Structure 1
Amino acid sequence: MNIERIKTRSPSLLAASLLMSTVSFQSSADVILHAFNWQYDDVAARAQEIADLGYKKVLVSPAYKSTGDQWWARYQPQDYRVIDNPLGDTDDFRDMVNALKAVGVETYADIVFNHMANEAWKRSDLNYPGSEVLAQYAANETYYDSITLFGDVSNGLFGGGDFHGTFDQGGPKCISNYSDVGDVQYNRLCGAPPDPGLPDLDPNNWVVSQQKAYLQMLKNMGVTGFRVDAAKHMTNYHINAVFDSTIKNGVHVFGEIITTGGAGSSEYDNFLAPYLSDTGHSAYDFPLFAQIRSAFSFGGSMNSLVDPGAYGQALAGDKAITFSITHDIPLNDGFRYQLMDPTDEFLANAYVLGRNGGVPLMYSDNNESGDNRWVDLYKRDDIKGMIKFHNGTQGSGMQVINYNDCLILFKRDHKGVVGINKCGSGQDVWVNTATDNLWWYRNYRDTLSNDVQTITSQWHKFYVPGRSARMWLME
């Protein structure tokens, strides 16, 4: 939907029509680079570049024993006690953490505690890591001893009694009803029949103790954050048992619970809301993502981005991981409907990195999906400019100045102004700089273009071109 450019009007007439909305929570955001499926030594080699671009944290793919070159194989653990997979080994991981720490960047680790690898195609037992891997350890004893995180790798880690749905309980079952909490949290994630699915771990004392030992070793190496994969499929009892006060001390934990909306949607009410209240952890802000997709869709309105948290359609700022794309969306056929038009995704990134509240996550892959859209995204000029704005306004409040179906214009106290126009025609917006506390005789320079706004009077006109964003940062 296109709306003609707002006509220039006198300040007295415009004053009556300007709308103001204030978002109260303060930002404590530091941008996370999701270095999806990057080799650990590649992350280490780019540590200085990552720091120079303004990132404060790097989320890396799961680090433990796993095999197979496909990206999804990283989400099928065989053994927690050893880091050994196509992305690198324990030494590579430690070197990466140290390289990032040396330039002031933290390491976040992706964690898979819901299940172990689906290896039914080669063996029927539920012993992990299995005889084949144990034989590999024995044949290279010196090497594997040197990269062992904890425990005795001459013996197995888990057996049949460490899983839900063992055969003495009537056999493992696949999830059949994704709206049923018990079904989702106690049964297996499966593909099409006859796939037996991913063996679902039971949070007994042994399983919990081994998962805690793994987390503690990563913390000892310097990891300061954990992303909990498939948190929707774990009971909050299990999550709290593993992430006790000792493990959580000094680290940021956030879970992946995919929903199609916020308050009122079944996924939110049945899974995300209980997770947030029962664990106190952060989570991906899928409710906000749903609002973003709605706003940028054909016929959608930017009004929905004014204050979505006010009606339960965004998480609280101190609990939110905000984004425009996650790895699941392009890499899983069932979620690809959530992909946005590339220009809309650019505008969504401006909103995510321009607003106050949440920790923004920027996804950058190696073209695992074949779309070729997110390769080197982390260092694109537009992303670099958006991070510059985000870091320059961090901790400042957010006040929405004007909005309509096509446009939203908001400021970050006096430090910056963001304009996002999803429609084809450019728009002028007059701003009362006295009421809105923008500083005079200071340049506000757009971090995405060469546009500079210098305010010299009470009323100032900001222009946002069609299908574009402006992020004016005070110099």
Structure 2
Amino acid sequence: MFPRVLVAVALVAALLTVPSPGGPPPAAAAPSGERDVIAQMFQWNWDSVGRECRDTLGPAGYGAVQVSPPSEHVVLDGEGHPWWQDYQPVSYDLDDTRRGDRAAFAAMVADCHAAGVKVYADVVFNHMTGQEECGTGSGGSSYCHYEYPDAGYGYGDFHHCGRNGDDDIADYHDRYEVQNCELLNLADLDTGAPYVRDRIGGYLNDLLSLGVDGFRVDAAKHMAAGDVAAVLDRLNGPAYIYQEVLHGAGEPVTPDEYLGNGDVYDERYARDLARIFDSERLAYLRDFGTAVPSDQVIAGVDNHDSQRGGSTLTFRDGARFSLANAFMLAWPVGTPRVMSSYGFTDFDQGPPSDATGKTLDADCSSAAWQCEHAWQPIRNMVGFHNEVGDAPVTRWWDNGGDTIAFGRGDSGYVVLNDRAGPVDGRWFATDLPQGTYCDVLHGDPVDGGCAGPTYQVNADGWFRADIGAHDGVALHTGARVTG
């Protein structure tokens, strides 16, 4: 899905180490514990994802990577190869996309699995293309707006809702329009038809045969929950499912309708978090939660849509973006998903590419790629998340404003200060065992030591810290200094 709004945001100076990834941590620093954090590697090509699984995601403790849609898509060279061309399928072939071919995709899955990282594919099956004219897809398949021979679809396999003249959705408060009319002129598949369900099921099973572990279902709210369920019933094996169900005020289609199919991404989490950071007080986070049950919601600070829509924090918010991600990874709500993206100056801009529109290898040392997943405070908070597991929130403290602190049982403790000024010489009470701890927001745990600042927790669980403006401290038992 892609809203047509772009808000220009000023780049904020970061006091945490955020503009560059700071180099991958050594493999020996890989945290223990259950791994469920997802890295959304938006528009990364297959070779780059495989390399990043080996070099960063696996060692940092990420549990999975979400990759962009792997099916054949339209090629819009006249529009500069916008990012959203990938969300307009032409066929379900994997032979040639802007990110690589079938062999490269299979190699990427193998590389990620070898690093202990699962692969979740972003899949689009609500619709096909939005172009009225005929064309040729990235793999050479010919198509027209309601004719896709290589996908096996013809005119009768699509909804023709008969409203609004051009069949587009006009009223998002009308369930019929939302689920039977066209989203931005995209040819809307009749997912209630058994034949269409079979075709989509075949595509998903092809991905499973290559080792894919799960699917992010794009535009799920534009299909009836029962239609999505019927497609998923055709899977040949187990897969983790999470569905994009964006909910606006007063809309009739709600995320809870889809919980029987799997987990859901509910952007209200990110919007609420941004509102608190931007215009309220961090103290309000004490009871932060979601309308969707915690064990079925995908939590995120931003995603590829909201980056361009202005409703959430993004990499442009620098240190405050890192603080929001640190909170998400420390707080026991949902399955965290970390956004990793590229820089852009306009809404439609695609990833760094060659003259033919093929995505270039990602380079985290280049300003063209943001690589938020590898920013030191975000990367190391994945280890914090894994270490604390399902431990309860303890020892909450706040100053009534924008400085908060809390523990996760006796496994971790985090302090976050979003004030414009520092917090000097404060003592914090924790349940951590006595010892010396690496501050993982500013240093990497390495071979029992710490490449950064450390803090001494005394026998009563107290430690003293000076916290800078828009900064913090994070300690956990997996990053104790033993040397």
Return closer, same or farther for 1:104/1:353 CA change in 2, 3 Å cut-off: same
Q: What does residue range 34-433 of structure 1 map to in structure 2 within 5 Å? A: 34-49=40-55, 50-68=57-75, 69-122=81-134, 133-134=141-142, 157-165=152-160, 173-190=167-184, 197-203=185-191, 204-244=193-233, 247=235, 249-259=237-247, 265-267=249-251, 270-276=253-259, 279-298=260-279, 300-309=280-289, 313-331=290-308, 335-339=309-313, 341-369=317-345, 375-399=370-394, 401-403=396-398, 404-427=400-423, 430-433=427-430
Deviation, structure 1 residue 40? 0.9
Instruction: Supply the distance in 1 between the matched residues of 2:427 and 2:236 (Cα, whole angstroms).
Output: 47
Summarize deviations over 1:413-440 as a string: whole Å, max 9, x none.
111101111112333655455xxx3322
Return closer, same or farther for 1:120/1:356 CA change in 2, 3 Å cut-off: same
CA contact (8 A) 2:72 2:92 kept: yes
Instruction: Supply the distance in 1 between the matched residues of 2:138 and 2:384 (Cα, whole angstroms).
Output: 50
Return closer, same or farther for 1:307/1:37 CA change in 2, 3 Å cut-off: same
Instruction: Supply the distance in 2 between the matched residues of 1:362 and 1:32 (Cα, whole angstroms).
Output: 6
Runs of 4+ in 1 over 6 A off after TM superposition: 128-132
Q: Whose helix proportion is higher, 1 or 2?
A: 1
Deviation, structure 1 residue 352? 1.0
Per the alignment, residue 141 of structure 1 pairs with none
Counterpart of 2:256, as a letter, is A
Bigger Rg over Cα: 1
SS of 2:475's partner is strand
Summarize deviations over 1:29-56 as a string: whole Å, max 9, x none.
5221111111112222333113123222
Summarize deviations over 1:169-228 as a string: whole Å, max 9, x none.
9975111112222211111112xxxxxx10001011110001111111111111111001
Comparing 29-38 with 457-466, greater Cα deviation is found at 457-466
Task: Return 5+ residue gaps in structure 2 as ranges.
Answer: 1-32, 76-80, 348-366, 443-451
SS of 1:84's partner is coil
CA contact (8 A) 2:60 2:380 kept: no
Return closer, same or farther for 1:290/1:296 CA change in 2, 3 Å cut-off: same
Give the counterpart of 1:473 among 449, 472, 476.
476
Return closer, same or farther for 1:171/1:297 CA change in 2, 3 Å cut-off: closer
SS of 1:177's partner is coil
Deviation, structure 1 residue 307? 2.0
Task: Return 5+ residue gaps in structure 1 as ranges.
Answer: 1-26, 136-152, 191-196
Counterpart of 2:200, as a letter, is Q
Summarize deviations over 1:69-102 as a string: whole Å, max 9, x none.
3321110000114442111121111111111112
Comparing 445-454 with 288-297, greater Cα deviation is found at 445-454
Identical columns (%)? 28
RMSD between aligned residues = 2.9
Query: TM-score, structure 1 length as denominator?
Result: 0.77
Deviation, structure 1 residue 453? 2.7
SS of 1:270's partner is coil
Comparing 397-406 with 465-474, greater Cα deviation is found at 397-406
Instruction: Supply the distance in 2 between the matched residues of 1:156 and 1:302 (Cα, whole angstroms).
Output: 49
SS of 1:322's partner is strand
Instruction: Supply the distance in 1 between the matched residues of 2:301 and 2:139 (Cα, whole angstroms).
Output: 42
Return closer, same or farther for 1:397/1:83 CA change in 2, 3 Å cut-off: farther
Return closer, same or farther for 1:85/1:241 CA change in 2, 3 Å cut-off: same
Counterpart of 1:229, as a letter, is D
